[in-house]
Structure 1
Amino acid sequence: MRKITAGLFIAADGVVESPEQWHFPYFNDEMGAAVGAQLAAADTVLLGRVTYDTFADAWPAREDAGGEDAAMAKALGDARKIVVSNAELEFTWRNSEQLKGDLVEAVTALKQEDGGPIGMSGSVSVVRALLAAGLLDELHLFVHPIAVGRGIRLFDETAAPIPLKLLGNTVFTTGVLHTVYGPAGE
C-alpha cells in the first residue's frame, strides 16, 4: 500500500493560512532539505486546488529559470499531480489531473495503486479530511516560532479528536520545530 505524507507550515498558535506572509524569515537550508526530502520521495503529489494554483504559478517558471531550486521544480513537474476540487479544472502544468469522485474513496483507491509515496504540501482541507478518515500516514508540521493571531488553523473547534503518535522531531537553528506524526493505531 502506498504511503501518504503531508507537510504544512504552521505558526505556534496553530495558524496555517497564508504562510507566505510569515514563513520566509524562518526558511533556511535545514528547512529546505526537510521539505524537499518529504516531497522528493513522492512520485505522486496530491494537492488542493488553491495550493495547486499557487504551485503551478511558480514552479514551472523556476524550472525554466534554472536557478538553485530548478531540480526541485523539475521533480515537481515530473511528478504525477492529482488535484482535489469540486469544480471542473483545466491544467497547463504537465502531469496534472483532477481527482474524480468522493475524496475518501478516490484516495483509498489511489493508495492501492502501484507506485511510490504520495506527497502533499499545504492543502489544509484535504489534510483534515484524510486525517479524519485515517488515510494519512505521516503529518510533517513545521512549527514556526510566531503567533500569527488570526487565520485558518489546522484544526477547528468542531473537529473530533484524532490520536497521533510522534514519529520524530528536529529543531532548526531558526527555532522552527519539524515534528512528524503518524496515526496512533488502536
Structure 2
Amino acid sequence: MRTVIFAINTSLDGYCDHTLFNPSEEVHAYFTNLMAEVDLVFYGRIMYQLMFPFWAEVAQNQTGSADEIRFAQRLTAIDKVVVSRSLDKLENHTRIVRSHPAEELLKLKQQTGKKIAVDSISLLPELLAAGLIDEFHLVVHPVLVGKGRRLMDNSSLPEKLPLRLMDTLVFKSGGVALHYVKP
C-alpha cells in the first residue's frame, strides 16, 4: 500500500496562506527533494488554483531561482488529481474527481507506485477522519502573520491524533521542517 503524505508551509501562528510569507531557497530545495518520492499529488480546488498556473509558468519560462525552477519542473511533471465540482478543464497530467475524495484517495493508495502527496487544507479533516494520511511534513516559518487560512479550525478534527516525530531540519532562515508519522 502506498504512503500518503501531507506537506505544507505554515507560519508560527498556524496560518498556511502562501501569499503572506515567502519560503527560502532552502525550503524550495526541501520540498523538491520531498517530491522526488512522490508520483501523485491529490489537490483540493483552492490549493490547485493557488499552485497552478503559477508553477507551470515558472517551469515553462524558466523564471525564478534555480531551486524554484527545479521545484516547478518536478511539480508540473507529477500526475495530479483535483477534487472539484466546478473546474472543467485542467492541464496535462491532471484529472478531476467530482465527489467522494476519501474513497478516491483510498483507491489510489491501494495501487502500486510512489508516495501520494495531499495538498488541500479543506480536504484534510475528511482524509484524517478516514485514516488516510500516514505522514506529515510541516515547514514552520519564523513569522507571525495573524491572518489567512489555518491548518485546522477548532471543529475540524473529530478526535485527537497522536503523532511520532521522525525528523527535524532547521533552515538558515530560521524555519524548521518537522516530519511526523502516525504511530
Under TM normalisation by the shorter chain, which class is it? 0.7 to 0.9
Aligned to 1:174: 173
2:2 aligned partner:
2
> Does 2:104 correspond to 1:106?
yes
Give RMSD over aligned pairs.
1.8
Offset of residue 163 of structure 1: 1.5
The equivalent of 1:49 in structure 2 is: 45
**Runs of 4+ residues over 6 Å off in structure 1:** none
Question: CA offset at residue 40 of structure 1?
Answer: 2.6
Task: Give the drift of 1:88.
Answer: 4.8
| Matching of residues 1-186 of structure 1 within 5 Å | 1-16=1-16, 18-21=17-20, 23-24=21-22, 27-67=23-63, 68=66, 69-91=68-90, 93-121=91-119, 123-158=120-155, 159=157, 160-184=159-183
Structure 2 residue ranges without an equivalent (≥5): none
Alpha-carbon distance in 2 for matches of 1:7, 1:146: 18
Q: Is the 8 A contact 2:2 2:112 kept in 1?
A: yes
Question: Would you say the 8 A contact 2:5–2:135 is kept in 1?
Answer: yes
Q: Distance in 2 between matches of 1:72 and 1:143?
A: 19
- Aligned residue pairs total 178
SS at match of 2:140: strand
Q: CA-to-partner distance for each residue in 1:54-77, whole Å, 9 max, x for gaps?
A: 222112211221343444323222
Shift in CA distance, 35/149, structure 1 to aligned 2, threshold 3 Å: same
Bigger helix share: 1
Distance of 1:29 and 1:88 partners within structure 2: 32
Larger CA deviation: 31-40 vs 107-116:
31-40
TM-score by length of 1: 0.86
